[in-house]
Amino acid sequence: MKAAVCYEKNQPVRVEAVTLDAPRRNEVLVRLAASGVCHTDLSVITGVMPMKLPGVLGHEGAGIVEEVGEGVAQLAPGDRVALAWVTPCGCCFYCRIGKANLCELGEKINIHHRMPDGSTRLHQDGVDLSVFSALGTMAEMAVVPASAAVKLPEDAPLDKAALLGCAVMTGVGAVFNTAQVVPGSRVAVFGAGGVGLNVIQGAAIAGAERIIAVDVNARKLDFARSFGATHRIDASREDPVQALKELSDGRGVDYAFEAIGRKETIEQAYASVRRGGTCVVIGIGSYRETVSLNVFSLPIQEKRLLGSWYGGANVHHDFPRLLALYRAGKLKLDELVTRTYALEEVNQAFADMTEGVNARGLILFP
Ligand SMILES: NC(=O)c1ccc[n+]([C@@H]2O[C@H](COP(=O)([O-])OP(=O)(O)OC[C@H]3O[C@@H](n4cnc5c(N)ncnc54)[C@H](O)[C@@H]3O)[C@@H](O)[C@H]2O)c1
Ligand SMILES: [Zn+2]
Ligand SMILES: [Zn+2]
């Protein structure tokens, strides 16, 4: 089968034949229908996101179960599934306190990009391949931990469901689960890419009064409006902090979300929040960078600075809930996909992401 393999940093990904082992105990084999293209995949290529190379990219996918390994009772061949990039083990400290997005097993997988036992099911000419989040959705098929495959209704649209796996869960989840935005709030969203657009639509669903999109790309600001942004700020033309203050009675916004992953924009997001307001950081920046906070104003301002990992997801509950919102016409998924690609066009998809062409690019498998 074919997969998009990243061999070297800052080099094109190569779509090549690889060998996939059969699913072992507590694993399932999934035939992918679609894989989204997330900035975090691009960050593996640019070196911001550490992963031992060579490895297969992709962590936003949905497909159909083809085979189940020993001990898998909750899934059967033919089931439609969306894949979760934090595998919830169900029994660690974090799973027990209801924070499955911080699962210890999921974290271990995301450090090593291997199966829970440290092995990999993907190889090429005898070389073991890393597999992003133990999913590797930029491939025709994937063997994944069974608990990372979230069962969907029999008629679930798999192309749309793929997006739930990262952009939608991360963006909408940051609003619902992390920040818990209350109706009537004023919300700023830095970065109107695949994740940020979902923060915007999450804030709209949550009943925010003002949703102010901040981006440096006019096309993204147009997308932002169609996802529910009431105001738009082009940060390449004006100071976003000043502009946000002006849009919020000089006080600052109730919530600011950063969905870019840069020191400057995290500091801007924090600065644009009112006293007692909440700044949520979603973007993943370089581990070499540090944000600075003024120690005098930190307590006086009483702002909350929150990280948000995978939108605080409880995937087995949240994926079906988000799909139901889509079917009720309340969550936009069709509009997210501005262009689809064949797997062979994966480098074009990354180039388009760098150029800021799409809301979300989606790889479709025949
Ligand atoms: N925390 C998590 O769980 C999680 C999950 C998925 C993705 N991410 C991270 O979220 C970030 C966004 O991912 P994405 O897939 O939406 O990326 P994307 O490339 O689609 O979107 C990024 C957006 O930021 C805008 N931007 C860049 N520089 C800017 C600036 N200085 N000011 C304002 N806007 C600016 C771009 O124009 C673009 O629209 C990435 O860092 C990604 O790694 C985090
Ligand atoms: Zn992602
Ligand atoms: Zn766990």
Predicted pLDDT of residue 300: 98
Ligand nearest to the CA of 310: 1
Residues 82 and 162: beta-carbon distance below 8 Å: yes
10-residue mean pLDDT profile of the chain (366 residues): values are 98 98 98 98 95 98 98 98 98 98 98 97 97 98 98 97 98 98 98 98 98 98 98 98 98 98 98 98 95 96 98 98 97 97 98 97 97
pTM: 0.97
Burial of 189 (0-12, 13-18, 19+ CB in 10 A): buried
Predicted pLDDT of residue 342: 98
Ligand nearest to the CA of 212: 1
Nearest CA owner, ligand 1 atom 33: 215
315 Cα: distance to centroid of ligand 3 (angstroms)? 12
**CB of residue 286 inside a 6 A radius of ligand 1:** no
Q: Choose which residue among 103, 189, 260 to substitute to test ligand 1 binding: the one with the highest number of ligand atoms within 8 A of its C-beta.
A: 260
Pairing of strands 210-215, 127-128: unpaired
The distance from CA 55 to its chain's CA centroid, rounded to whole angstroms, is: 19
In the structure, ligand 3 is a single-atom ion and the residues with CB under 5 Å from it are: 89, 92, 95, 103
Give dist(CA 25, CA 37) in Å, integer: 29
Predicted pLDDT of residue 309: 98
Is the backbone of residue 131 left (phi > 0), alpha (psi -120 to 50) or beta? beta
Predicted pLDDT of residue 353: 97
In sequence order, the 6+-apart residues with CB closer than 8 A to the CB of 33 are: 61, 62, 63, 64, 158, 159, 162, 364, 365
Query: What's the CA dihedral at 34, 115, 86, 324 to 10 degrees?
Result: 40
11 Cα: distance to centroid of ligand 3 (angstroms)? 35
195 Cα: distance to centroid of ligand 2 (angstroms)? 8
What tokens appear for 121 in the block?
Answer: 């099911």
**CB of residue 199 inside a 6 A radius of ligand 1:** no
Predicted pLDDT of residue 10: 97
